[in-house]
Structure 1
């Protein structure tokens, strides 16, 4: 029996109409919610701006001089940029006087790691460029007040910030982005949690520009859906998922992530499909971001492969830019000489500057150092009496911050491992070191170590180079692709993957002839100039100007 054509066409038309209207209805609903949220936070915005203006006017003479210094520092950067780039757009007074609100989404801003250095250096550069703008940091660090955080930033990173134009808004839902909250489907759970966290942030204040500096791409997508007129930017330290991660499912090498070797069997296949689905969602949300910056060419390659197709489909014209993280290269050069005299002050110390997190793989470095240490012709006794040890005894110095109880337990286990390896008297743990302490170790050390597989960039490695250390780093990620690369056709350090390769690297670095060692230190320092704070400031401002133009255009 023939099927009536009219009812079938009617049904198809209804389905097509629903399919077409649902996205429009979805966007309209979210934008209506966004409009409501914005209206409810308008009074807080006015209060914060009024308070910032009052604080700026009543600031002490010392704070005022610091602000003047900020202006002069930016003028120096701006002049250099204009001198090096004839195509630089002339900045109008109206652009410089832009006084909008820039929201920085960084829920763990008090952690004290390399990602936090990027955040504070970005805010400093933004304050230099737009001194009348209000920078707002969305954080979940309720245990640290504004004065305490700024003091820690000054001590840890030597980055002074202008307090009157900086505000912290405290999030109440940070637990939803913790891995411990999502024991299963962690990637998806944390991403969904970031949506709740971002909505929490917007209910505190809707900014004029929204910048994520921790890797919460889903939060930026939500901002775009709620507030289409708010430009968004992502500074990506590490892709949430990548082809390398998928590869670890079949890789049982230690240090390759918690999921290494879990791709076998039906559970492994299920995980693989889940990761591919998440990669698709991650690519979709990444495609909606207005300005994307990555911290290395390694990260750029992964983000381009994931986000690039969707960005092109949505008409995004700007390419994904590499903005190398800021490193205190100039300060290190001034504080630490690299010459014949300084060579006499260096000892056979191998320093590893890294937070005590699992992915930093301190276990690998301890194991490698033990292999090297026991291979010495006459290894010193492992007794607790150090008085008989010669000054030339190699030492491993682990320098890093401890964030919470889990980090403290991790350090305790590392101490136990050092004892089990019989090298406890040749290993130093320097916890939550101040910048002067770090400088002191960089001044007297000979070797800088990096143990993380696929480190996204490696600020600590650049610090090694700027301080004139010979680097022994993991043969992967940013340290391999961007940092420890030949200069003038000659090496600036050594690459390694296994404990034995690291042990051989330590031996080579610590046994270089004096002239050869000094030459390599000088090449390393020359390489580090590519990652200075001034270079970062210029690149960051170049990307931020795109956002300000987008925001200004949307308000016309």
Structure 2
């Protein structure tokens, strides 16, 4: 054993003994050391901060110069921004107009900002709302997408989500350590490995730039606690899409049906016992981490309930006077655009709608595409046995989703294509990877049914898109789609719930077999329900929460 290894082990053992025997003294010592490291990082990055801000000012001047020579923005764009401004100003929390002159830096921690999923839509809508509320602020996104320039990234955001951003005040800082949050790095104890790995990535981010406000929009809560320990004056915010651990995950270990996620039934034997103990211990650690977050936002009622349970006790202890429960901010969806561009009435039902089932979801295992493929195959087989349906067009299944290239996603979609071939539904199934927004819009206009098969989907932006486009939803009977979206608001059903292959198959058949008048009535009820999830609703609530963070930052100075 080398001298260096012996020294490291001795230091580690000494630290552990100190923590056990003198917890308060060790905590104070550790806190002091981390603050010293934070002070050093901030001092070291001050020069880069000035360079970044100078570059932002230069780009702003160049942008305005080009804008003056070109045509002004369209009336529709101006109307969008006016609505953001109207909802934001005067929302400072004290009834007085807010200060839109704040020119600090807001750091968004989102290492996979080019993934093209619902989480990325939230990120970029958050950046858009922040830009309009605080036009002089700089929005820094910490990303690991080295192969994408800022111009290409913003173009993709516009193409995929129809979100137009103000380029000068968007800054991408490229991380060199993103691999440490990949699940493939940790074949065992993946949750803990990724969480600790996120600290390495966060350290990388802070060494690029220390922001004035730090917000995690991807689910790496450990980075927020790390930020608070290094930089106590930097307010932290979390937009939680999905709790890293939950009581539902623990319950899934005892599931014998195989329907509750990728860990269903994994609680048997000594390995299952060890996994359960490990998850319980991790949940306690996760709860402690959540206690360090200043402002917590959740994307659904389901997520909020779990975060209250996990983070609530620790946050109450740390903020006995100022404690506030998580704010539910539903993810933004292009409800208005979909409603205005897609017709829902008897005429469109007869001329435009086709017997097509649409599933919009990233091509990842947790989205459970195999369940939809098997359910569709069962539905087609049952349909073939019904002689009365032979004269009608054969229904189609269209799967649309983003794929993280050079990742397991590519293998996953290859296996899905093989499964479609084995189920003999290949001729009736279409896979579309990384489709543009106009392509998605086209399929939303012509499809009849929208599906979602993920167990405990945290929210389900695609389900809201289905509703806004007038599709009849068939969703998993759990999570956000069940609790928040596909609900009866008093007028009648807005879709169907299912859990098993048999239930999904029956729901597809029931949805497509509805009489025209009933189909149109359900589509209109769904569209009305979708009005709860507009971009404007998101902007207003997002700005209100970020206002709190900026207020904390001002108080620190």
| Selected match of 1:441 from 430, 443, 462 | 443
Which whole-Å CA distance do the structure 1 matches of 2:152 and 2:289 have between them? 35
Question: Is residue 393 from structure 1 mapped to residue 399 from structure 2 by the alignment?
Answer: no
* Counterpart residue number, 2:341: 335
Which whole-Å CA distance do the structure 2 matches of 1:474 and 1:76 have between them? 34
* Counterpart residue number, 2:257: 253
What are the within-5 Å matches in structure 2 for residues 208-287 of structure 1?
A: 208-287=212-291
| Selected match of 2:96 from 90, 97, 108 | 90
Q: Deviations over 1:294-339 (max 9, x none)?
A: 0000000000000001111111422211000000001101111111
* SS of the residue 1:149 aligns to: helix
**Cα offset for 1:67?**
11
Which whole-Å CA distance do the structure 1 matches of 2:438 and 2:19 have between them? 67
Which whole-Å CA distance do the structure 2 matches of 1:296 and 1:67 have between them? 33
**Cα offset for 1:252?**
3.7
* Counterpart residue number, 1:7: none
* SS of the residue 2:465 aligns to: helix
Q: Deviations over 1:349-376 (max 9, x none)?
A: 0000001100111100010011111111
| Selected match of 1:374 from 375, 381, 388 | 381
* SS of the residue 1:485 aligns to: coil
**Cα offset for 1:82?**
7.6
**Cα offset for 1:76?**
2.4
* Counterpart residue number, 2:84: 77
> TM-score, length-normalised on structure 1?
0.92
Conserved 8 A contact 1:70-1:128: no
Which whole-Å CA distance do the structure 2 matches of 1:460 and 1:34 have between them? 40
Q: Deviations over 1:202-229 (max 9, x none)?
A: 0000000000001011000000000000
Which whole-Å CA distance do the structure 1 matches of 2:42 and 2:78 have between them? 32
What are the within-5 Å matches in structure 2 for residues 431-510 of structure 1?
A: 431-510=433-512
Q: Deviations over 1:83-130 (max 9, x none)?
A: 9x99872224xx110000000000000000000000000000000100
* SS of the residue 1:455 aligns to: coil
Conserved 8 A contact 1:475-1:495: yes
| Selected match of 1:534 from 526, 533, 536 | 536
* Unmatched 5+ stretches in structure 1: 1-13, 381-388
| Selected match of 2:326 from 320, 336, 359 | 320
**Cα offset for 1:256?**
2.8
Question: Is residue 414 from structure 1 mapped to residue 421 from structure 2 by the alignment?
Answer: no
* SS of the residue 2:237 aligns to: strand
* Counterpart residue number, 1:386: none
Change (3 A) 1:154 1:179: same
**Cα offset for 1:189?**
0.6
Q: Deviations over 1:156-214 (max 9, x none)?
A: 00000111001000101111111111111111110100011101000000000000001
Conserved 8 A contact 1:71-1:128: no
| Selected match of 2:211 from 207, 222, 229 | 207
Which whole-Å CA distance do the structure 1 matches of 2:19 and 2:348 have between them? 77
Change (3 A) 1:16 1:425: closer
> TM-score, length-normalised on structure 2?
0.91
Question: Is residue 104 from structure 1 mapped to residue 111 from structure 2 by the alignment?
Answer: no
* SS of the residue 1:288 aligns to: coil
After alignment, is 251-260 or 35-44 more displaced? 251-260
After alignment, is 523-532 or 335-344 more displaced? 335-344
What are the within-5 Å matches in structure 2 for residues 38-187 of structure 1?
A: 38-59=42-63, 63=67, 65=72, 73-79=80-86, 89-92=95-98, 95-187=99-191
Change (3 A) 1:391 1:134: farther
Change (3 A) 1:267 1:337: same
Conserved 8 A contact 2:19-2:26: no
Conserved 8 A contact 1:81-1:88: no
Which whole-Å CA distance do the structure 1 matches of 2:87 and 2:201 have between them? 40
**Cα offset for 1:72?**
6.1
Conserved 8 A contact 1:402-1:431: yes
* Unmatched 5+ stretches in structure 2: 1-17
Question: Is residue 548 from structure 1 mapped to residue 550 from structure 2 by the alignment?
Answer: yes
Which whole-Å CA distance do the structure 1 matches of 2:481 and 2:95 have between them? 33
Conserved 8 A contact 2:198-2:222: yes
Aligned-pair Cα RMSD in Å: 2.2
Question: Is residue 363 from structure 1 mapped to residue 367 from structure 2 by the alignment?
Answer: no
Which whole-Å CA distance do the structure 2 matches of 1:15 and 1:436 have between them? 57
Which whole-Å CA distance do the structure 1 matches of 2:543 and 2:528 have between them? 24
Which whole-Å CA distance do the structure 2 matches of 1:58 and 1:132 have between them? 15
Change (3 A) 1:25 1:453: same
| Selected match of 1:304 from 279, 302, 308 | 308
* SS of the residue 2:496 aligns to: strand
Q: Deviations over 1:248-284 (max 9, x none)?
A: 1111433533322221122211111111110000000
**Cα offset for 1:38?**
0.1
**Cα offset for 1:63?**
4.7
* Counterpart residue number, 2:354: 347
Which whole-Å CA distance do the structure 1 matches of 2:24 and 2:379 have between them? 66
Change (3 A) 1:512 1:433: same
Which whole-Å CA distance do the structure 2 matches of 1:392 and 1:88 have between them? 60
Which whole-Å CA distance do the structure 2 matches of 1:105 and 1:262 have between them? 32
Change (3 A) 1:70 1:554: farther
Change (3 A) 1:182 1:500: same
Conserved 8 A contact 1:63-1:162: no
**Cα offset for 1:503?**
0.6
